[in-house]
Structure 1
Amino acid sequence: MNETVPTPQALRAAADRLVSALAAHSDPEYRLTVLKRLVRRLGEEQYPLFLRVLGVVAESDDERAQRLLADTFGTALRRMDMPGGALSSWGATRLPESAGPLDASALSGQFFGATPRRLLGPVEYLTVWHLQRTQRGALGAAAFRTSLARMIALLNRSDDARTLYPQKLAADAQNELEGAYTRATRDRLAAIAAAWKAGRSPEEVAQAAVDVGDAEHPRDWVMRDL
């Protein structure tokens, strides 16, 4: 997969345009629409670019911009309408259950072609990207820890996001969604949720996820940074 790496200047300009667009409207619902529109315009394969734009805001000194963005995610969590990215659910498909010989007509197009995908919020996306085999090269451990801590620090600017997001992650960790999360991923989501609920620092929350135990990636996995 060939991806154009944006320059720091381009990322800062994109982050500035996003914050300006959000600040131009006082309606939280409209701000969420703006955020989702950006994700759609980038396309599902460019969700990591969206995460980079969020990272620029998270690393800035502009607390107002951080609160504005975090509050918009709080609105998304209240509505259960998160601006998400798609990762292929490797291993999600399975042979149809049958007591007799397998009929070729039972093999759907999903089995041979379009692997099921599920839209994931920023924290879930980073975790799945790090742990599961997807259409992307796996996210390295150091990049995962850094990106996760930065994302949580940003989301903590909103009371709603800080309260509701770990609740969502805890529920996801208990729900064995078909093909969406492996056991290792659910364990990490549970660890993130518990540490976040306990009020630990973003760095401690990210470390708690890593401390669950490194799942060994197959030798042929391509590791990359965000």
Structure 2
Amino acid sequence: MNAHPSQPVPSPAELRAAADRLVSALAAHSDPEYRLTVLKRLVRRLGEERYPLFLRLLGVVAESDDTRAQRLLAETFGTALRRMDMPGGALSSWGAARLPDSTGPLDASAFSGRFFGATPQRLLGPVEYLTVWHLQRTQRTALGAATFRTALSRMIALLNRSDDARALYPQKLAADAQNELEGAYTRATRERLAAIAAAWKAGRSPDEVAQAALDAQATDTPVHWVVRDL
């Protein structure tokens, strides 16, 4: 888990308590749309830099034996997928930055924080975020393969608690894998998203889906990259 530099890394007990509060907040409302609002509000409060903390909270629920809590979260993501309004986090695509347009000397102000590896940015759902974090050069240190596999497997097991999420998420990933226009995904990432989508849609187990994302990925990550765990 990458915490924000100014924030301490939460302890396991603090993560469990936070996950319990999240589930309780969702359970307090019967309206699926309001539950989605609660989930998105949490993501906004955490901020872009702490989206991995949100993923950890989802992982805590996924690892628990509370099937009701898992179903509640998964169904909220099902609502998000139906609305095409996913609670997402942003990762910068380093390779997509370009020089500012200019015919004369460049002013220093042209080299803003949005130039060096900061564009384009798009909000990524949990599965896409983990995949991009693992495979692409972003503002974060790359996610290690073993941690990626474990986190992805847990996430898919959680999402499978909802019929809508299990049906709609692979469709979204397959569509994303076909989109070459936005520049947010590399070819290797699109291939992995397509592999996840195909294995998930085929009803493979969460572990098998996660393994499908890793197959043949060794050539995608430069050997000198530094990787880390969640």
Q: Could you say whether these structures have the same fold, taking a TM-score greater than 0.5 normalized by the shorter chain as the test?
A: yes
Displacement of 1:95 in angstroms is 4.5
From 35, 39, 45, the equivalent of 1:35 is: 39
Question: 1:104 and 1:73 mapped to 2: Cα distance?
Answer: 48
2:101 pairs with 1:84:
no
Match of 2:73 among 69, 72, 78: 69
User: Structure 1's 31 and 104: CA in aligned 2 closer, same or farther, altered over 3 A?
Assistant: farther
Query: Which of 208, 211, 218 is 2:215 aligned to?
Result: 211
- Show CA shifts across 1:167-187 (max 9, x none): 000000000132200000000
For 2:178 and 2:103, locate their aligned partners in 1 and report how far apart those are by CA, in whole Å: 33
Partners in 1 of 2:161 and 2:116 — Cα distance? 44
TM-score by length of 2: 0.90
Distance 1:212 1:80 in 2: 30
AA in 2 matched with 1:170: A
Gaps of 5+ in 2: none
Describe the SS at the equivalent of 1:111.
coil
Checking the alignment, whether the CA contact within 8 Å between 2:97 and 2:118 is kept in structure 1 is no
Which residue of structure 2 lines up, in the alignment, with residue 184 of structure 1? 188
- The alignment partner of 2:122 has SS state of strand
Task: Give 2:201's aligned residue.
Answer: 197
User: Is 2:158 the counterpart of 1:154?
Assistant: yes
Structure 1 SS opposite 2:9: coil
Q: Give, in angstroms, the shift of residue 122 of structure 1.
A: 0.1
Distance in 1 (CA, whole Å) between partners of 2:139 and 2:204 is 33
SS at match of 2:65: coil
Gaps of 5+ in 1: none
1:125-178 residue CA offsets vs partner (Å, 9 max, x unmatched): 000000001010000000000000000000000000000000000000000132
Q: Could you tell me how far apart the structure 2 residues matched to 1:213 and 1:114 are? A: 25
Question: In 2 relative to 1, CA 210–219 (structure 1 residues): closer, same or farther, beyond 3 Å?
Answer: closer
1:107-118 to 2 correspondence within 5 Å?
109=112, 110-112=114-116, 114-118=118-122
Change beyond 3 A, Cα 1:108–1:132: same
Indicate conservation of the 8 Å contact 2:32/2:79, yes or no: yes
Q: Does residue 5 in structure 1 map to residue 9 in structure 2?
A: yes
Describe the shift of the 1:104–1:75 C-alpha distance in structure 2 as closer, same or farther (beyond 3 A).
farther
What do the CA deviations read for 1:14-37 (whole angstroms, capped 9, x no partner)? Answer: 000000000000000000000000
Q: Once the 2 structures are TM-superposed, how far is the Cα of residue 103 of structure 1 from its aligned partner?
A: 4.5
TM-score (norm 1): 0.92
- Kindly state the Cα deviation for residue 112 of structure 1 after the two structures are TM-superposed: 4.9
> 1: CA distance between counterparts of 2:105 and 2:173?
38
Give how far 1:90 is off. 1.1
Q: Distance in 2 between matches of 1:180 and 1:115?
A: 8
Q: How does 1:40-59 map to 2 (within 5 A)?
A: 40-59=44-63
Per the alignment, do residues 142 and 22 of structure 1 end up closer, same or farther by CA in structure 2, a change over 3 Å counting? Answer: same
How many Å separate the matches in 2 of 1:112 and 1:216?
A: 22
Q: In angstroms, what is the RMSD of aligned CA positions?
A: 2.0
Give the superposition deviation at 1:111.
3.4
In structure 2, the partner of 1:142 is: 146
Shift of 1:78: 0.4
Counterpart pick for 1:123 among 119, 124, 127 = 127
Note closer, same or farther for the CA distance 1:12–1:112 as it changes in structure 2 (3 Å cut): closer
Task: Tell me the CA shift for residue 113 of structure 1.
Answer: 7.3
C-alpha deviation, 1:5, in angstroms: 1.7
Paired residue total: 223
